Structure 1
């Protein structure tokens, strides 16, 4: 990935095994985000990190703190009774780290 970084606008880290929604977040994804953020910063690049899979109100703060700038959160928003409130809660938890 290091050789491709200068050519990447966005890098997507999958924090679940791709295939279906509602999977549990793979905790080692946090370290992947941190290491990728370090590589991008060390090279002075503008690449942005996106993370997809298992992101919810319990881990979004840690994901953002690690360096992810874009998050995909389907089941933890659309699986709630009030998706609008779920989005608000996610934003509140994420912006604590920004």
Structure 2
């Protein structure tokens, strides 16, 4: 099986590697995982953006404990951002290890 690898964003380099199906699956599995993680990130960020508009729009804002809601919102947002960076970092390491094993 021939695996075509493209590296770079502006200056693209292409490599063709002859490999077994198992090694190709070891490379594609973390890439698919990264794609699924990216889609999940988009959905969760859209949820955070909509909650931000609810908290900032005057008629929809809760009347009591606004500071508590804002604090909890930012706590969840910061926790999500840290978790997201950590998971993406692990996936990138997984992809680079799989590519280096070729």
Q: TM-score under structure 1 normalisation?
A: 0.27
Greater helix percent: which structure?
2
